[in-house]
Chains A and B, each alone.
Chain A
């Protein structure tokens, strides 16, 4: 059914695609490093997601508005320069807002600059579309990214610490599953989510195939 849909994407489409269909973490499997490193608590995960969203939104806007001026041969270097600028800005902003959060996220804020996701969107989308669409794309991908981080951070914090956003969920006797907060837990949780999504995708594909067979 998707093949027959040839109408141009509406602004809402541009935004929504980043949330599910082209979700950066679960579908494109991009930007993995921060996904695993800062998702040991839900607060850190959301903060990282929002910071990345800000950088992606601003860099998409800049790249899009400057796209006619950026020379083709050095375009990747220029994108990286723009992205690094906004990462530096968001680093100082977080330090000013909350020292504790800045300490918790540490060097991973600066590492947003090598998040292949942002560079990928700048190259694949922002450099070829108008500012409005580029902004929506950046925002959508960013929100999708944040949601994915929240999924991971939430699970890891609930299982590994018995709390969510710092609020204790279980009575004091609860012995948390510490491995979830450790690096190994990060790998396992992401694998579990990918497993679940793969499973859902296959079920939907086989259901669609089954329907097509029935219609023939």
Chain B
């Protein structure tokens, strides 16, 4: 009896391994392409991308050489740094929202935001992905550092629709308050952490060799 079970088990195992090995390269390629598209969507002026990892020492090294949290640097034709695309996630109305946003050091601002995954209420909360008025908030969202250079001068906050007066505020969506507040909170937390880091270790990113690709 056990021989039959083991035999069938091995047959099943072989099948899975075969399909797994066959689909792995395709899946990796798909994921890389999707990431590429998202990075260029949030860093409109970038034409080339290089992924960096945050090393334990606190600096940035090309992701091919190091393990650690990843950020994606975008460079223009001349090879100078346009901005950095960073992934962030947090709790939304229904489930975790994950997004990618582009930070441009030269402009001290977030220049693009794209929602990667969200399970927000269709027709209401999921307007954060498509509403053009909401997305326009992220064309130039102020993330200036204060004098100490360790935290944001004005943390990002979401306000009621139409009440935006400062460049670091986000105009919310009526009927999707929790979802739009969630985006604001996610960006505030993430930028508070990464903007000072990137400003301090800017040299690591400029030194990246885009010919290496990654």
The answer to whether A and B touch directly, with their CB atoms under 8 angstroms apart, is yes
Chain A residues within 8 Å of B, Cβ to Cβ: 40, 66, 69-71, 73-74, 77-78, 81-82, 84-85, 88-89, 92-93, 95-96, 99, 103, 160-161, 176, 178, 181-182
Contact A71/B4 with A95-B27, A99-B30, A178-B124 known, Cβ cut-off 8 Å: yes
Give A110 Cβ to nearest chain B Cβ, in Å: 13
Contact A103/B5 with A85-B15, A96-B30 known, Cβ cut-off 8 Å: no
A78 in complex: contacting residue of B5, B20, B124, CB < 8 Å: B5
- Residues from chain B with a CB closer than 8 A to the CB of A103 are 117
- Residues from chain A with a CB closer than 8 A to the CB of B12 are 81-82, 84-85
- Point out which of A69, A70, A85, A88 has the most chain B C-beta atoms below 10 A from its C-beta: A85
Contact A66/B23 with A71-B1, A89-B16, A176-B123 known, Cβ cut-off 8 Å: no
**A/B interface sample: 30 pairs, CB < 8 A:** A69-B8, A70-B8, A71-B4, A73-B1, A78-B8, A81-B8, A81-B9, A81-B12, A82-B8, A84-B12, A85-B12, A85-B13, A85-B15, A85-B16, A88-B19, A89-B15, A89-B16, A92-B23, A92-B27, A93-B23, A96-B27, A96-B30, A99-B34, A103-B117, A160-B123, A176-B123, A178-B121, A178-B122, A178-B123, A178-B124
- Residues from chain A with a CB closer than 8 A to the CB of B163 are none
CA distance in complex: A182, B120 (Å): 11
A-B CB proximity, top 10 nearest: A85-B12, A96-B23, A96-B26, A71-B1, A178-B123, A92-B23, A181-B122, A89-B19, A69-B4, A99-B30
- By beta carbon, the residue of chain A nearest B20 is A92
- By beta carbon, the residue of chain B nearest A95 is B27
| B31 interface hit (Cβ, 8 Å) | yes
- By beta carbon, the residue of chain B nearest A178 is B123
CA distance in complex: A103, B34 (Å): 12
A92 near B8 with CB under 8 A, answer no
Give B2 Cβ to nearest chain A Cβ, in Å: 8
CA distance in complex: A196, B140 (Å): 54
Give A59 Cβ to nearest chain B Cβ, in Å: 11
- Residues from chain A with a CB closer than 8 A to the CB of B27 are 92, 95-96, 99
Give A143 Cβ to nearest chain B Cβ, in Å: 24
- Residues from chain B with a CB closer than 8 A to the CB of A93 are 19, 23
- Residues from chain A with a CB closer than 8 A to the CB of B8 are 66, 69-70, 78, 81-82
| Contact mask for chain B residues 31-66; partner A; CB cutoff 8 A; 1 contact, 0 none | 100100000000000000000000000000000000
- Residues from chain B with a CB closer than 8 A to the CB of A77 are 5
Give A112 Cβ to nearest chain B Cβ, in Å: 15
- Residues from chain A with a CB closer than 8 A to the CB of B16 are 85, 88-89
| Contact mask for chain B residues 120-139; partner A; CB cutoff 8 A; 1 contact, 0 none | 01111000000000000000
- Residues from chain A with a CB closer than 8 A to the CB of B23 are 92-93, 95-96
- Residues from chain B with a CB closer than 8 A to the CB of A70 are 4, 8
Give B72 Cβ to nearest chain A Cβ, in Å: 18
CA distance in complex: A88, B8 (Å): 16
- Residues from chain A with a CB closer than 8 A to the CB of B31 are 99
- By beta carbon, the residue of chain B nearest A97 is B26
- Residues from chain B with a CB closer than 8 A to the CB of A82 are 8, 12
- Residues from chain A with a CB closer than 8 A to the CB of B1 are 71, 73-74
CA distance in complex: A160, B124 (Å): 12
Give A184 Cβ to nearest chain B Cβ, in Å: 12
Question: Which residues of B107-124 are within 8 A (CB) of A?
Answer: 117, 121-124
CA distance in complex: A82, B9 (Å): 8
CA distance in complex: A89, B20 (Å): 7
B123 near A181 with CB under 8 A, answer yes
CA distance in complex: A73, B4 (Å): 12
